[in-house]
Structures are given as structure tokens and as C-alpha cells.
Amino acid sequence: MAHEAAIQALRALLGDRLATAQSHRDLHARNETWFAQALPDAVAYPETTEEVSRILAICHEARCPVTPFAAGSSLEGQHLAIHGGISLDMTRMTRVLAVNAEDLNCTVQPGLTREALNTELRATGLFFPIDPGANASIGGMAATRASGTMAVRYGTMRDVVLALEAVMADGTVIRTGSQARKSSTGYDLTHLLLGSEGTLGVITEVTLKLFGQPEAISAATCRFESVEDAVNCVILTIQSGLPMARIELVDEMMVRGFNLSSDAGLPEKPHLFLEFHGTAAGVADQSRAFAEIAEDFGATGLALAERPEDRSKLWALRHGAHYATGALAPGKRTMSTDVCVPISKLAEAVTAAQARSRALGLTCSIVGHVGDGNFHCGLRIDPDDAGELETAKGFVNALNDLALSLGGTVSGEHGIGIGKQAYMAREHGAALGYMRAIKQAYDPRGILNPGKLLPPEDA
């Protein structure tokens, strides 16, 4: 087996928490989309920062790759050990280390999931708002700079992470940031590590901003005759300054997926899923103001969901979009991609994506956190069908080029991983060389999640 020296040293350190059994390796080789399985040589299950430090020191000395893993919910293959080595499973590091209610922050270990964190916070009157849909781990969300359905109101992981503890490639432990809400001291290493996808360091603690639970919450749905009408309604809503907590688009293909997978009983037309936060009077005012805007774009069937169980049912449907897409073409796999554009260009981008997928004969659902210009396309493909795979890749390529031409980015949420490296030079130009220089400085032996985020220099 490759990297045997590192594996033997790690076994001495971790005992039975260093697993080489096929079942453990198989579990960590899977992904939610179309990428091929990638088996690590072994899986390590640390329980403390000190153990992570010693693991990385051993692997640094042996030049053994290390790929961080937690919930395994990423959509661009960030957690796949494509060069073998160690899958560093953080799921035993799940403690809430501190809740500082007066300062509206908390510190947690990276394996804790966002749902588990909010369960812990329930009695404090505070909550953590970043909601990418999947019950992702906090460390993974930080490493991929995640966002989600409430980003339009509360921001992304970039906005809510105050400080990090991280273990560097050689085992050195560093701390970045503090509980203070701002600082003008030194380089901003916190935000450099955010979104680095485990290629610069392994996150072992995260300090997060928290928010007060709203006094009142109301959700709603409405439908439109076209995606263009729905998106133009979103644009005017945002430009009007309505403080939406969530404003999500699902196109008619996605609605069909909901109906097939969950018997949702929705008319197969584009819908918006909405949520309003604030005081009871404020929420009522927001919903009335939105209804007036939506009416101008031909919205019908506006329905409010104010009981917690009704809101939960609504958002469970939206959060299940990735799996509901599977019902549109059973037996295939989903190639999931996302882009983000300026809000004024959103209608152009979404309608172009819908038209192009239809012209190519692709089964494609579209969903989006459209309040911040971000949308996702789920393509059902057979990865073993070379023609279909190339058609889907061509669609993604054209969508990325369109996003860049409109002043946007090739990914607002999913990140780069192994799926979007080819577009890094197109988006970043000469800055890509500086990214490579940072990678070399942080990880000179190239052991941290190799093959991710940065394309090969000869690509």
C-alpha cells in the first residue's frame, strides 16, 4: 500500500481510530454528484487539535497527502482523496466550546453540523443563519466559504466567521482573528483560509457571529408564468430595499421533481419560496409590500406559511432539491453547478441557462438563492455516456463564460474542488500566480488536499 510509513506511524498514534478497512475507505470515496469514487489509503479519526497537529506532522515528513472530510456534502469533490493518502475525518470533533451570548458569538469544533449547532443554541435566543441546504459541518462550510438560503439577509461564511484555529501542513497550530468585530492588525489570514478548501490548512476551531432569533417569522410561496417574470420580481424586491430573509427560485422542472419525489402537488410553473423575519408588524408589512410587487409581475397563488410545522415542510422541500432532481431522470447522476451574477443581470443569466439546456436536450432543474444573484443548475446525466457527458460539460462551460461576461463568478457557493479548476485562469488571470505562490508558502510539500482548487500549471 502507498504511504505505508505514514500509515504505520499514524496507527501507533491513533490505534483503532486509523482505519484501513475497505468499508471505511469506501464511505470516504463517495460524493453527491457525478465524480468517480476516489479511495484514500486510510481514514484517520482525530478527536483533538493536538492529534490533528501530530497527524499532519507525520504526513508532512512522509509526504503523504491529507484530505479533510466531515459531512461529505460538497458538490465539487473537495472531500475526495484523489491522490490517495489520508482522509482526515473530523466527525469526532463536534463540541460547542463556548457560547458568548452577550457578545453574540460562539466557538465550535469543525465536525459540528449547522443543525446540531442551532439545536444547542435554542435556549439562548440566538441562532446561526448560514444554511446551504445540506446539514453540512461548520468546518467544511468555512473551508468552502459556504452560504445558502439566508445569505440575502445574513451574509455568507465570509461575513460570520470571526476567528479560526488551524493546523498548518507541518503540524504548526495557528490562531487567526478574535472575538472583536473588526481589526486592522496584520494580514487577514482568517479570510485567506476561508474558501481555501483544505489546501492551506486544516481548520480545527471556528468562532462565529450569532444572531437573535426573530420575534416573528412568516414564509410564503407564489408562482409565475415564466422564470423571467419570477426573476424580475426578485430584482425589484431587492432594489426596493425589502429586508427579505429568504427569496428562492425554483423553475418548472424543479417543481416537477418535487411533485415526483414528494407528491408536493404544486402547479408546474416557476415558483418563489420566501421568508420574512422581524417583529409581527414588520413581517406583516414586508409580506404586503412583496405581494404588491409580485402582483405587478403576474404572480398568483400567494400562500403564507406561518406555523412552524408549515414553514418546516416548505423548506424541507427546497432543501431536498438536489435529491428531487434525481426523480426527473431515475438511474442517472446529477451534475450540479452554480454561478453568481450581479442582481441586474440575473434574469438574463437564468433565462439563457434554461433556454440552452432545452436546446441541448438536457434534463435540467434550476434553483437559486436569487436574492444575491446566485443560482444552481442540476443536470441529470449518465457519466458513462461520453456524448451526454460532453454535452453537459459544454453547457457548464457556456454558463461559466456567460457569468464572467456579465461581471459575475463561476461559483457563488459550490467552490472549485476538482470540478471547476479549468475556469480559474479565466476568472482570476494573473492573480492565479499569486494564489499558487501562497499555496507554495503554506504547503511547500503539497500534502494538503492536493489536486483541488488550483489547476496544474501546465493546464
CA pair distance 277, 293, nearest whole angstrom: 18
Domains and CATH numbers, the chain: 4-89 (3.30.43.10), 96-212 (3.30.465.10), 216-322 (3.30.70.2190), 328-405 (3.30.70.2740)
Q: How is residue 35 annotated by DSSP?
A: P
Question: Can you give the C-alpha Rg of the chain in angstroms?
Answer: 22
Give the containing element (helix H, strand E) for 32: none
Rounded to the nearest 10 degrees, how much is the dihedral formed by the CA atoms of 151, 279, 99, 136? -30
The alpha carbon of residue 45 and the mean position of all alpha carbons in its chain are separated, in whole angstroms, by 23
Closest CA to 183 of 204, 163, 201, 198: 163
155: three-class secondary structure by DSSP:
coil
Residues in the chain: 459
Beta strand 202-209 with 211-212 is unpaired
361 conformational bin, left if phi > 0, alpha if psi -120 to 50, beta if neither? left
Beta strand 86-89 with 96-100 is unpaired
Question: Hey, how many other C-beta atoms are within 10 angstroms of the C-beta on 342?
Answer: 12
Residue pLDDT tens, the chain, 459 long: 568 999 999 999 999 999 999 999 999 999 989 999 999 999 999 999 999 999 999 999 999 999 999 999 999 999 999 999 999 999 999 999 999 999 999 999 999 999 999 999 999 999 999 999 889 999 999 999 999 999 999 999 999 999 999 999 999 999 999 999 989 999 999 999 999 999 999 999 999 999 999 999 999 999 999 999 999 999 999 999 999 999 999 999 999 999 999 999 999 999 999 999 999 999 999 999 999 999 999 999 999 998 999 999 999 999 999 999 999 999 999 999 999 999 999 999 999 999 999 999 999 999 998 889 999 999 999 999 999 999 999 999 999 999 999 999 999 999 999 999 999 999 999 999 999 999 999 999 999 999 999 999 876
Q: Does residue 169 contact residue 201 with C-beta atoms inside 8 Å?
A: yes
Amino acid symbol at 111: G
Burial track 255-280 (b if 16+ CB lie within 10 A, e otherwise): bbbbbebbebebeebbbbbbbbbbee
Cell of 130: 448560514
Cell of 251: 423553475
The dihedral sign for the CA sequence 148, 153, 155, 161:
negative
CA pair distance 50, 60, nearest whole angstrom: 15
How far is the CA of 270 from the CAs of 11, 88, 227, 240, 301, in angstroms? 54, 41, 6, 22, 12
What are the start-end ranges of the E strands in 178-330? 202-209, 211-212, 216-223, 244-250, 271-278, 300-305
User: How deeply is 117 buried, as exposed, middle or buried, from its count of CB atoms within 10 A (0-12, 13-18, 19+)?
Assistant: buried
Rounded to the nearest 10 degrees, how much is the dihedral formed by the CA atoms of 276, 278, 282, 285? 0
Quote the pLDDT of residue 133.
85
Quote the pLDDT of residue 370.
87
Burial track 33-62 (b if 16+ CB lie within 10 A, e otherwise): bbbeebebbbbbbbbebebbbbbbbbbbeb
365: three-class secondary structure by DSSP:
strand
266 Cβ contact list (under 8 Å, min separation 6):
221, 223, 255, 258, 259
| Cα 399-405-407 angle, rounded to 5 deg | 110
CA pair distance 236, 83, nearest whole angstrom: 47
Q: Does residue 230 contact residue 294 with C-beta atoms inside 8 Å?
A: no
Q: Note the pTM of the prediction, 2 decimals.
A: 0.94
Q: Does residue 10 contact residue 1 with C-beta atoms inside 8 Å?
A: no
Closest CA to 371 of 161, 156, 157: 156
Query: Which residues face 212 on adjacent strands?
Result: 126
Quote the pLDDT of residue 459.
61
CA pair distance 31, 76, nearest whole angstrom: 9
